Amino acid sequence: MQKIIVGNLKMNMENIATRNAYCKELIAKSTKMTTKNTVVVCPPTIYVEYFCRALQNTPIRVGAQDCFWELYGSFTGNTSPQAIHALGGRYVIVGHSERREHNHETNEDIVNKIHGALRCELTPIVCVGFLSHGDEMESIHNQINALTEGLGAAAMQKIMIAYEPVWAIGSGKTPTSDDIHTMVMYIRSLIAQNCGKEQSLSVPILYGGSVTPHNARALCVDAHADGVLVGGASLAADRFMHIVRAISL
């Protein structure tokens, strides 16, 4: 089955020369790339237009790291999903744990943002994870139920989910392939309960948290995840492409 490899550049590349060099290297590496997998890079919003132009003749697609639920209007500082699409973006990360934490985004905000993204034909990559102390299964259960209830079966089929245990993000620590497989199956069973078994099979479930070229195959292919969401290791174009290659072998 096709895998999805997403790079989340977060709030990096604050220097134009770094951004330009990154895109140049990504273009050079991707022209040699033969993969049937989907590769997406999500730069800071302010660079979405630049990345879309730079990568337009490559197989790499571009996404944003967040969007607002309204398409336009008096919402100072927010990003229109319609503008992301108009610039060439086709994906948007929604509900990353860093936004849930620093921007206090709730499940309700996240559902609204997904609706906004879907109205503009963006594919939402929706992050779920274990945020605080307590029971991980319960936390995932609450987040997935908020999605299935707020979106309904038809919209659920248009999103991707990224399972990201917060303790694994940027820490160098990862769950085992078996642990990831268990959570992927659990998330799929929750979707099946609320939306039907058939529908649950069409929702890609990615893993994210300390993915590197070295562990990518284990955390994705061996774990039966449908792809990976990569933070730190996507910041160097060659490492990111190594991950793509490792998963495409």
Region of residue 175 (left: phi > 0; alpha: psi -120 to 50; beta: else): beta
Is residue 5 within 8 Å of 249, Cβ to Cβ? Answer: no
Stretch that binds ligand PGA, among 22-30, 37-45, 111-119, 226-234 (CB under 6 A): 226-234
Q: What is the largest CA-CA distance in the chain?
A: 49
Q: Tell whether residue 173 is a contact of ligand PGA (CB under 6 A).
A: no
Q: Tell whether residue 126 is a contact of ligand PGA (CB under 6 A).
A: no
CA distances from 140 to 99, 131, 186, 244 (A): 17, 9, 9, 27
Is residue 26 within 8 Å of 55, Cβ to Cβ? Answer: yes
Which of the following is catalytic: 85, 98, 105, 164?
A: 164
Cα–Cα dist 161/159, whole Å: 7
Beta bridge partners of 127: 162
Determine whether 96 is an active site residue. yes
The strand ranges marked E within 156-222 are 160-163, 205-208
Stretch that binds ligand PGA, among 47-55, 60-68, 150-158, 229-237 (CB under 6 A): 229-237
Cα–Cα dist 220/233, whole Å: 15
Cα–Cα dist 241/249, whole Å: 12
Query: Exposed, middle or buried, 141 (CB in 10 Å: 0-12/13-18/19+)?
Result: middle
| Nearer to ligand PGA among residue 80 and residue 100 (C-beta) | 100
Q: Tell whether residue 164 is a contact of ligand PGA (CB under 6 A).
A: yes
Q: Tell whether residue 169 is a contact of ligand PGA (CB under 6 A).
A: yes
Determine whether 164 is an active site residue. yes
Q: Tell whether residue 215 is a contact of ligand PGA (CB under 6 A).
A: no
Please identify which residue in 4, 7, 8, 92 interacts with ligand PGA, judged by CB under 6 A: 8
Residue nearest to ligand PGA (CB): 231
Which of the following is catalytic: 96, 104, 121, 138?
A: 96
Structure tokens at 192: 């099946």
Residue 132 beta carbon to ligand PGA: minimum distance, rounded to whole angstroms: 17
Beta bridge partners of 124: 92
Q: Tell whether residue 231 is a contact of ligand PGA (CB under 6 A).
A: yes
Q: Tell whether residue 11 is a contact of ligand PGA (CB under 6 A).
A: no
Q: Tell whether residue 230 is a contact of ligand PGA (CB under 6 A).
A: yes
Q: Tell whether residue 209 is a contact of ligand PGA (CB under 6 A).
A: yes
Binding site residues, ligand PGA, CB under 6 A = 8, 164, 169-170, 208-211, 229-233
Catalytic site positions: 96, 164
